[in-house]
């Protein structure tokens, strides 16, 4: 089902990175937008860029880990846009470190934003879409949700939950004319490493590795947003924009036990290299 002219869309985590890229790509597609973020100044910067393109943008501050905030976001968005065609549940954070070393506080922080934020978004926006018989839900997960790389348990668990939720809703909402797509990118340039939490020593090492991987990435946030929106419009459940992500997906599905054995070997090598630095 093709997007309507003047698509009305809400994007969480819109203040920077992929969230901003979603807003700008939607603006190019003539969408009217609600740009939401916990950081009002950052969301205002995104909205200003959208308005420079001649499109409508309204800022709504929202902490996606708070269900009342997300419900208020939905109410405000319906009022401003006179109905919501699409919600992009994009807000996310990263937590890394050995499983037993990551604090429960950091676990809750990561899961509250990455998983509960998406749950809250789907609960707040899906009912009206079902009633109208039309809509799109685009949930941002990660290749980490199926690759399950070591020493990123909170991130992996939260993103795997987003994938499972999206798969469930895809079946539930399809009969009502509502599409669900889950985006699973690998590395691209963003600010997620800057706000990452975890154990101090492992955090420094992990940030360095992520920043190096981001520099090598061929796709930018704008490319990821474009692919995800194209997949959603085509009614596809999975959006895997990167070649390495698609390779990991195929390997995991073809031979899951061998896949994780290989990952474990690579992790041992990585730890040795880090100790030499």
**Which positions are catalytic?**
155
Among 65, 59, 102, 63, CA closest to 80: 59
As a whole number of angstroms, the distance between CA 127 and CA 36 comes to 20
* Contact between residue 49 and residue 24 where contact means Cβ atoms under 8 Å apart: yes
Tokens 């990167």, residue located: 242
As a whole number of angstroms, the distance between CA 146 and CA 269 comes to 21
154 CB-near residues (< 8 Å, 6+ apart) = 95, 96, 102, 106, 107, 110, 111
As a whole number of angstroms, the distance between CA 23 and CA 86 comes to 12
């Amino acid at each position: 089902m093709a997007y309507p002219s003047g698509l009305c869309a809400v994007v969480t985590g819109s203040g920077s990175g992929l969230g901003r890229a979603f807003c700008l790509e939607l603006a190019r597609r003539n969408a009217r937008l609600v740009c939401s973020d916990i950081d009002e100044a950052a969301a205002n910067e995104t909205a200003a860029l959208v308005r420079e393109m001649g499109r409508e943008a309204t800022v709504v501050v929202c902490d996606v880990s708070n269900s009342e905030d997300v419900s208020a976001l939905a109410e405000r968005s319906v009022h401003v846009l006179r109905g919501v065609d699409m919600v992009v549940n994009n807000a996310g954070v990263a937590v890394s470190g050995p499983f037993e070393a990551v604090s429960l506080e950091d676990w809750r922080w990561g899961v509250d934003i990455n998983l509960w934020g998406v749950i809250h978004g789907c609960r707040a926006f899906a009912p009206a879409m079902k009633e109208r018989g039309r809509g799109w839900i685009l949930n941002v997960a990660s290749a980490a949700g199926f690759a399950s790389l070591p020493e990123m348990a909170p991130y992996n668990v939260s993103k795997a939950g987003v994938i499972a939720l999206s798969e469930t809703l895809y079946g539930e909402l399809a009969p009502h004319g509502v599409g669900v797509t889950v985006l699973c990118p690998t590395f691209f340039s963003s600010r997620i490493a800057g706000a990452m939490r975890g154990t101090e020593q492992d955090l420094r090492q992990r940030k360095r590795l992520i920043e190096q991987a981001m520099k090598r990435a061929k796709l930018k946030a704008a490319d990821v947003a474009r692919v995800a929106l194209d997949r959603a419009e085509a009614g596809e459940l999975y959006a895997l924009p990167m070649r390495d992500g698609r390779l990991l997906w195929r390997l995991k599905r073809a031979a899951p036990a061998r896949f994780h054995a290989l990952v474990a070997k690579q992790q041992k090598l990585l730890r040795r290299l880090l100790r030499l630095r």
